Structure 1
């Protein structure tokens, strides 16, 4: 349980979880999934792709969802509380839907067709090795956020390009135009610790952020543009010096008959 003192935030607030030293961009890790299975294909559900090895089967049953990406799903639970003037804790409502890309939610990820009962739809499959519960129990209270279309799962499956990254966890929606979304004061962050990071010498963090009309804060593109521009400028200067110093162009001269 951690304590925070925040200044007030006016617009919608986005809660992210962050991981460091976690290489989601590793070639074998990125390939360790079955997109046909994630799209609800029944054949792939019963016979996952060999790319999912060694997380393809468990106890003789096909794993759903298979692969290393799904097996390493982030499963800590974060809760935020506001401490008012009377020292009472008020839980901040966290919205769990609307955090995934629309195309992922409605196109790339689909539950197996033909049965609205996910317990039956996933019958004959096994949960990933590191999961505490099967895929059809990710959010049993909400059929639109359960199984392969669970948004926490979808967000995790979109792999990060760098070893230090953050992923959207929840949204704190603005209440009204007259009151701040998060008033200034003392807050408590309660963490249900399920996700170990010591094995890969990693660190976890929670980020609260807002976005503007230009989007959220992401320094990667700015750093990349400055780096590439600096390299191009340096090479241009070097080539200009070489051109003037070692110019061997032939000068015009009279050629005797």
Structure 2
């Protein structure tokens, strides 16, 4: 007798679900069903799109390029924006040799924004960089997470060699520390920190009253109207920690350990301590500063904005807000651009009509299709189930 074959070990159970015998329903797309579906989608999406578009127009969004390629100072002026160079100075840096001077008399300018509507705070202040790929693999990975967290004996193997030892980091003043010191923080990203500086310069009210940096505007010094605290994401708070007790024979802390700005010194210059307005002590300094945390969160696109500060105050239509800029970050050599921008946001976010346009486009297309199909159905109807429309093989043979 032939041997019986072994039972199938992976045979599905004989149940309606596993044997695909569950009752199903499939809609029949009749002409009126399709017409009704298109019409319903259209009348729902169009009002939503119009509402989203109206909401997306409420926030303000002004931007002025002050450095980089295709930069022409006079072209930055409009009804709402104005760029003014300081006497004998320019924010335009022709190449990297002009960067990192921290000298307003050489590279300083004033950017003014005139509000065309009443604005409720907070007003967000951004710096915008173009043609700068932070997510480039070798750039983004050139960092030491252990070092940034303040761990002892950190692994710095991922940092580029030229950004590990002080004597090899030609960008910095090697005489500031012995060559045996390690650079902290190391890596390409940390050592190319955006270091342009924005200050509040003046406020001009709609009636023409001028408030300079030391004047009070609504009870606050104009210079201090821009809040620069609590800017980074909460998720980044545990990723950065300064070294509590640093062995001076092992590490060179290039960021100012007592003040709130992280600025490397140029080759041939003394280390920057308290010579460029970095005189206000802060509880968040070094790698724990919001400015550093925001920069270290790499952008996904080559054109990006990063938060610089916020103005927690309302302003009436016609108010002119001016910023004083110290241009230090060289961008021309990589054909990039630098801009300052101010914007507000609503529950929908900033000024971006993309979502609204999508809803309006889909709603409009669906409405047009519903009318076209309805007209075709009325002018040239087709009865469902009509055997005359069936063509069998050999029907006329």
TM-score, normalized by the shorter chain, greater than 0.5 = yes
Gaps of 5+ in 2: 1-109, 168-178, 214-221, 256-262, 266-270, 363-391
Check conservation: 1:172, 1:181, Cα contact below 8 A. Answer: no
1:89 aligned onto 2:89: no
Distance in 2 separating the partners of 1:173 and 1:30: 33
Check conservation: 2:135, 2:298, Cα contact below 8 A. Answer: yes
Check conservation: 2:141, 2:158, Cα contact below 8 A. Answer: no
1:12 aligned onto 2:122: yes
1:151 aligned onto 2:307: no
215 and 186 in structure 1: CA distance in 2 versus 1, 3 angstrom threshold: closer
Q: CA deviation at 1:122?
A: 6.3
1:2 aligned onto 2:111: yes
Q: CA deviation at 1:121?
A: 6.2
139 and 111 in structure 1: CA distance in 2 versus 1, 3 angstrom threshold: farther
Distance in 2 separating the partners of 1:75 and 1:3: 20
Partner of 1:102: 234
Partner of 1:78: 198
181 and 83 in structure 1: CA distance in 2 versus 1, 3 angstrom threshold: closer
1:49 corresponds to which of 145, 150, 157: 157
Partner of 2:106: none
Q: Describe the SS at the equivalent of 1:68.
A: coil
Q: Describe the SS at the equivalent of 2:325.
A: strand
165 and 218 in structure 1: CA distance in 2 versus 1, 3 angstrom threshold: farther
1:111 corresponds to which of 242, 257, 263: 242
Distance in 2 separating the partners of 1:79 and 1:141: 14
134 and 64 in structure 1: CA distance in 2 versus 1, 3 angstrom threshold: farther
Distance in 2 separating the partners of 1:75 and 1:122: 26
Partner of 1:64: 184
- Runs (4+) off by over 4 Å: 120-123, 137-140, 217-220
Distance in 2 separating the partners of 1:3 and 1:186: 6
Deviations 1:33-60 (A, max 9, x none): 001110111211xx62343333111123
Check conservation: 2:142, 2:159, Cα contact below 8 A. Answer: yes
Check conservation: 2:159, 2:186, Cα contact below 8 A. Answer: no
1:201 corresponds to which of 335, 343, 346: 335
4 and 209 in structure 1: CA distance in 2 versus 1, 3 angstrom threshold: closer
Please tell me whether Structure 1 or Structure 2 has the larger radius of gyration of its CA atoms. Answer: 2
Check conservation: 2:159, 2:188, Cα contact below 8 A. Answer: no
Check conservation: 1:24, 1:163, Cα contact below 8 A. Answer: yes
Root mean square deviation of aligned Cα = 3.3
TM-score (norm. length: structure 2): 0.47
Q: Describe the SS at the equivalent of 2:264.
A: coil
Q: CA deviation at 1:2?
A: 2.5
43 and 141 in structure 1: CA distance in 2 versus 1, 3 angstrom threshold: farther
205 and 33 in structure 1: CA distance in 2 versus 1, 3 angstrom threshold: same
Q: CA deviation at 1:181?
A: 4.2
Q: CA deviation at 1:183?
A: 5.5
219 and 62 in structure 1: CA distance in 2 versus 1, 3 angstrom threshold: farther
Q: CA deviation at 1:163?
A: 0.5
TM-score (norm. length: structure 1): 0.71
43 and 134 in structure 1: CA distance in 2 versus 1, 3 angstrom threshold: farther
1:125 corresponds to which of 236, 241, 251: 251
Q: Describe the SS at the equivalent of 2:333.
A: helix
